[in-house]
Amino acid sequence: MTVEKVTKLDVVYQQSQTHKFKKGQKMKAKSGFTLVEILIVVVILGILAAIVIPQFTEASTEAKTSSLCTDLQTMRSQIELYKIQHNDALPAATGDTEADFARRMTTQTDITGAVGSDYGPYIQKIPTNQFSDSNDVVLGTADPAAVDSTKGWYFNTSPGAFHACDTAEHVDL
């Protein structure tokens, strides 16, 4: 009797080893992905990246523009405050240097704009223009669009207008 049982087990084992399946038996499925499935996933990820990456670039540019507008608004309001406290005198006049403008805006001054302790400081430092990566202020009376675009800012000493001078489109902000 024991010999018979071993013989039946041997037959079943041999059948499973040779992959001869009887009708109704299922073949064991292999796990994993096919090359086509992987390629489809890669293509979908590529399409999503092509859609999303430009939007991040636009968001970055919009953030820089917003920062530029905020810096312009801050500088213009502080220049106006300086002007009010200094009898309508601007922080820089014709013949002054960029250092004179920066000193008058970032340190305390007297009524004449000289170093003193009556007024100011109006700002901690000249802000950096995000587009030109510069905080240089160019003084003059020329058209702001004609100023070197590697500089950060342009202060027109005649009317007292403060502009960004990195691109022609930002001059109008």
Q: What's the predicted TM-score (pTM) here?
A: 0.70
Task: State percent of the chain over pLDDT 90.
Answer: 57
In order of 84, 94, 158, 167, the CA distances from 87 in angstroms are 6, 17, 16, 33
At 108, the amino acid letter reads Q
Cα(47)–Cα(5) distance, integer angstroms: 61
pLDDT attached to residue 164: 93
pLDDT higher than 80, residue 155: yes
pLDDT higher than 70, residue 5: no
Cα(161)–Cα(83) distance, integer angstroms: 12
Whether residue 135 contacts residue 101, with contact meaning beta carbons closer than 8 Å, is answered with no
Cα(5)–Cα(43) distance, integer angstroms: 56
Pairing verdict, β 153-156 and 137-140: parallel
Whether residue 89 contacts residue 113, with contact meaning beta carbons closer than 8 Å, is answered with yes
| pLDDT tens per residue, range 95-148 | 889 999 999 999 999 999 999 999 999 999 999 999 999 999 999 887 777 788
Cα(136)–Cα(99) distance, integer angstroms: 9
DSSP designation for 87: T
SS3 at position 137:
strand
| pLDDT tens per residue, range 97-106 | 999 999 999 9
156 φ/ψ angles, rounded to the nearest 5 degrees: -80, 115
pLDDT higher than 80, residue 64: yes
